[in-house]
Amino acid sequence: MSALVAGTAAPAPTAARRPRGGLWRAILHNRKAMLGAVLLVLFVLLAAFPHLFVPWLHGDPRAIGDLPLEHPSGKHWLGTTGLGQDVYAQLIYSTRESLIIAVVVGLGATFLSVIIGVSAAYLGGYADDALSMLTDVFLVLPTFPLIIVLATYAGKGNLTVIVVVLILTGWSYGARQMRAQALSLRNRDFLESARVRGERQSYIIVVEMLPTMISLIVANFLGAALYAVLTAAGLQFLGLGDPNSLSWGTMLYWAQNQGALVNGLPAWALSPGLAVALLGVSFAMLNYAFDEISNPALRPVRRRRARSH
């Protein structure tokens, strides 16, 4: 009887007993990731509902005012531009374009990284050689000078051109990571069983392989979005964007051209730069959560430290 009880007291673990909600647990238990999530939610709210944060503004924040180069006051919290435009209103309304660039470029670059990196690893042979050579070529290219040349000659001031250029120059590093991860999965038992069943290669890649790489894919998206935010702001600051658009990079461009620092208006020059930095910080901090998921070695270390305290 005791042997029977002993044999049934500790049933084998099942999938239902495995911890769930790994993503949310990683964010909630990682202060840096939590900070990144809170910042990102704030920027999403600013982009979606800018009028709620500037309730006194009625009309276009680019409208010319009658108080140029005014210092910060109760009416204009961050002062006004050389054309009398409210700097704070422009800062809030510029969030939308900057966030759209980050998300679109992040998605586009991640899509190319997944398609090229995973296909190279899974197909192997000549396909792997060709795709790996293409990735290596883009990895060694001087990215920022290339972006300036392409953005200048392909269509100066065109936001679509800037987005396409950033996607084409931002996928190679992620593709190299995807290939390395896919190579470690290519000969696993669950993929071999799918081949034995006669599944199509596209089915095996999309349904069987990619779900096991979600944390790496999301981390690559965050890295590509961070790259897009910083690079797009740099291009717009150099005057390669639309000077009439509302974005943080364009604000930096006009602040420099109209002598914000010389005229004693540091808030005009520093606020968009701080916004770019904070959005970049939000993407970078969120990477900690996905590092914790994709690298199981990080989790036991944290648990041991928690128990020791």
- DSSP assignment of the chain equals -HHHHHHHHSPPP-GGGS---HHHHHHHT-HHHHHHHHHHHHHHHHHH-HHHH-TT--S-TTS--S-TTPPP-SSSTT-B-TT--BHHHHHHHTHHHHHHHHHHHHHHHHHHHHHHHHHHHHH-HHHHHHHHHHHHHHHHS-HHHHHHHHHHHHHTT-HHHHHHHHHHHSSHHHHHHHHHHHHHHTT-HHHHHHHHTT--HHHIIIIIIGGGGHHHHHHHHHHHHHHHHHHHHHHHHTT-S-TTS-SHHHHHHHHHHTTTTTTT-HHHHHHHHHHHHHHHHHHHHHHHHHHHHH-TTHHHHHHHHHHH-
For residue 288, give both structure tokens.
């900690």
Confidence of residue 9 (pLDDT cuts 50, 70, 90): very low
For residue 132, give both structure tokens.
């790996």
pLDDT recorded at residue 4: 40
Mean pLDDT of 99-103: 94
Residue type, position 114, single letter? V
Query: Residue 80 forms beta bridges with which residues?
Result: 86
Confidence of residue 5 (pLDDT cuts 50, 70, 90): very low
262 with 26: CB under 8 angstroms?
A: no
210 with 217: CB under 8 angstroms?
A: yes
Residues 6+ apart with CB under 8 A from 141: 169
Q: Render pLDDT for 134-164 as a digit per residue (tens, 0 to 9).
A: 999 999 888 788 888 877 776 666 788 888 8
What pTM value is reported for the model? Answer: 0.82
Residue type, position 132, single letter? S
Confidence of residue 298 (pLDDT cuts 50, 70, 90): low
Percent of the chain with pLDDT over 70: 83
Q: How far apart are CA 110 and CA 167, in angstroms?
A: 9
Confidence of residue 221 (pLDDT cuts 50, 70, 90): very high
Query: Residue 86 forms beta bridges with which residues?
Result: 80
For tokens 């792997």, the residue is 128
Q: Render pLDDT for 239-297 as a digit per residue (tens, 0 to 9).
A: 888 888 899 999 999 999 998 989 899 999 999 999 999 999 999 888 777 766 666 55
- Tally Cβ neighbours within 10 Å of residue 199: 15
The answer to whether residue 305 scores a pLDDT higher than 60 is no
Q: What is the mean pLDDT of the chain?
A: 83
For residue 82, give both structure tokens.
């050389």
pLDDT recorded at residue 294: 63
pLDDT recorded at residue 6: 42
82 with 265: CB under 8 angstroms?
A: no
Q: Render pLDDT for 43-88 as a digit per residue (tens, 0 to 9).
A: 999 999 999 999 888 778 988 887 899 999 888 899 999 989 999 9
